[in-house]
Chains A and B, each alone.
Chain A
Amino acid sequence: MSDFNPVTLFFILSEGMGGWLWLLLAAGLLLLGGIVFGLSRLRRAGRPAKRPLIAATVMGTVATIVFTILAPRWTLTDTGAFASALDVAAAVMLALVPGVMVAALVFTMASLRCASRHKPAATLVAG
């Protein structure tokens, strides 16, 4: 494994996933952009990020749990194949990928919703 470096890992991922790797990376960038956009809207609206964060954490956790349970099915087997804590930890690691994506999506949507419902005072006066 002495040559297991980031470049090698990239090629393994690329060969294993093909074009989907780029779609996944693009989705990741999009979601990252959504988080930044949501944060900026919250800031402009003078709203705290607490509620979107809670919503994202809850939904991300639920998604991670669901995908952890589904993870063995991705490998053509079932949860009965889990034989140790390491197996569960590996499944959680896998499930974190969609879990984090769900959390990012929920955070973005909740932030925008939160920001749009609470206009800044100056805007209200002007309106």
Chain B
Amino acid sequence: MNRRGFLAGGGGAALLAGLTAGVPAAMSITGAAAQTSDAHTRIVIAGAGAAGLAMASRLRRGMPRATITVIDAKKEHHFQPGFTLVGAGLWSPGHVTERNADYMPRGVEWIEEAVAEFDPDADSVTTASGRKVAYDFLIVATGLTLDYAAIEGMDASLIGKDGIASIYAGPEAAAASAAAIDRFLETGGVGLFGRPAGEMKCAGAPLKITFIADDKARRQSRRGAVELVYNAHGPAVFAVPPVNDKVKEMFSARDVAVNYGHVLKAIDPGAKRATYRTEGGDVTLPYDFIHVVPPMRAPDAVRASPLPWREGALAADGWVEADKPTLRHPRYANVFSVGDIAGVPRGKTAASVKWQVPVVADNLIAETAGRTPTATYNGYTSCPMVTGYGKAMLIEFDYDGTLTPSFPFIDPLKELWVSWLIEEKGLLGAYRAMLRGRA
């Protein structure tokens, strides 16, 4: 960390400390007090992303005699909430890239392979090399798959070329997206934004990148040269009504046009035309810049297993069936899911992970120690909605879409620098502490 980083990190952390010092117990999560279990239990955690690492850290401390195995081939770890700031051209890819090894707790076995098969009937998983790992409890934390191929003509390799951007595909793609935005602002024209129809991680990100493009254009006195269009997948731009109203009002004030019921179906990079599925049939729109957000699905190994929902809105994309308050699988009582893969509404953010993991960990510890599990998760998630350079709205809500602000003095629907400060300086430290099971 350089001197500037020190000042920023120190200042941000100090503010966070100050802000949180007087915070009341605003969360509706009720958790058992931290306790331990001496059970000699075999626990397998499939996935070493945010949820998997945070779970491994918590269980390692809470279950000192358990055998804990993490299975994941991925060695890099990405601070995904920072992808928006990389896409804004503020952060470098290195700022959001770390190593899983640095967060893997001691005493946890890490099998550096992908999970190829889940067999909950036999209480085992099989790795890509064919190794079978048996468990007493399984935590599914595989994350999700970005399905760019579901958009005809689209491929992740196109990001950064021909006016195509997508901050979701990784830090480098986010940086390439920032460059694509810059080129678009230089040349001018039509910029298209939007989101897929299904469940997705960080549903605020497509809105954030729209706001960023708008603000950047204004700062460069190029707003008159660009036309910005947000293609909402449904009848609203955001699922939570008060947030939807606010964003619509802001889009209107900033001259961002909105098309409702438009889902990106195909893209023709050569002709720069995007085709959207609408209720009235396919609609093709020309563009000079497009921010593509791919449909998101469960990884193949999960989809091919008996774990996903078998019916309902969450079945098609293979999300793991889960009881909303406990995240326990209704058909396999020794299986839990956390993070993006959990088949619960609205729970695909790092903020959700932060509150899901302690609930599952506390309940698992209680259960293996012979106590009654009592912790529940209320669906809390958070979206620090960046609305421009230096401004954000700190939006937090639960399963019901009820706003649940953690800081009573911060208006969640007001653009504030202090919310930006939390996004830009406070979250990374909190995220890392979460990975270590300390926040």
Contacts and interface: CB of A to CB of B under 8 A. Distances in A.
A79 to B, nearest CB: 9
A123 interface: no
Interface string A94-124: 1001000000000000000000000000000
Q: Looking at B415, B418, B428, which has the most chain A CB atoms within 10 Å of its CB? A: B418
A112 to B, nearest CB: 27
A71 B20 contact: no
B417 A93 contact: no
Given A4-B20, A86-B410, A78 B390 contact: yes
A25 to B, nearest CB: 11
A76 B90 contact: yes
Interface string B116-134: 0000000000000000000
Interface string A78-96: 1011111011001101100
A91 B204 CA distance: 26
Interface string B7-42: 111111111111111011111010100000000000
Interface string B42-80: 000000000000000000000000000000000000000
A16 interface: yes
Contacts of B161: none
Contact of A17 (B9, B410, B414, B417): B9
Interface stretch (A6-14, A34-42, A45-53, A58-66): A6-14
A22 to B, nearest CB: 11
A21 B6 CA distance: 9
* Interface residues on chain B, size class: 35 or more
B145 to A, nearest CB: 29
Q: Chain A contact residues: over half helix, strand or loop, or mixed? A: helix
Interface of B, secondary structure class, is helix
A82 B358 CA distance: 35
Given A12-B429, A86-B416, A17 B10 contact: yes
Interface stretch (B278-286, B303-311, B431-439): B431-439
Nearest to A95: B11
B12 A74 contact: yes
Contact of B13 (A16, A19, A82): A16
Contacts of A86: 409-410, 416, 418
Nearest to B12: A16
Nearest to A88: B417
A7 B371 CA distance: 26
A75 B439 CA distance: 23
A87 B394 CA distance: 13
A1 interface: yes
Interface string B393-420: 0000000000000100110001111101
7 contacts: A8-B439, A12-B16, A12-B433, A14-B429, A16-B9, A17-B6, A75-B425
Closest 5 A-B residue pairs measured CB to CB?
A: A16-B429, A81-B390, A77-B390, A15-B432, A11-B438
Interface of A: 1-4, 7-9, 11-21, 23-24, 71-72, 74-78, 80-84, 86-87, 90-91, 93-94, 97
